Amino acid sequence: MLEKTMRMNYLYDFYQALLTPKQRSYMSLYYLDDYSLGEIAQQYEVSRQAVYDNIKRTEAMLEEYEKKLSLFQKFQKRKQLMNQLKDYVLQKYGEDKQLFDMIKELEELE
């Protein structure tokens, strides 16, 4: 469950711009702020089932976008290579601040 929450947080981060405002509200309350379905339903004056259906549909949409664009997958791969590169540079050229700053800038671009 924790793993799914983390994945949804990432997918939401990458694709939220493609969602509707309502989808964004529900997802962000549920996954980022840890509200229960009941609490969201109360706040929006809709049924718990309506919130549940909306979130399930949004999750499916996010997975569909990831299947097509692979932004999360590429991000993970890039992060892994970036860490290898940083480790190597720190160990071998630890005194070269300029080199490390260039790599940091690249890393923070996401």
Distances 87 to 76, 81, 83, 91 between C-alpha atoms, Å:
17, 10, 6, 6
DSSP 95: T
Residues between 81 and 100 with contacts to a copy of itself, criterion CB under 8 A: 81-82, 84-85, 88-89, 92-93, 96, 98-99
Provide, rounded to whole angstroms, the least separation between the CB of residue 102 and a copy of itself: 5
Amino acid at residue number 40: I
Which is closer to a copy of itself, CB of 4 or CB of 74? 74
User: What is the 3 state secondary structure string of 79-92?
Assistant: HHHHHHHHHHHHHH
Residues contributing to the site for a copy of itself (CB under 8 A): 15, 17-18, 65, 68-69, 71, 74, 77-78, 81-82, 84-85, 88-89, 92-93, 96, 98-99, 102-103, 105-106, 109-110
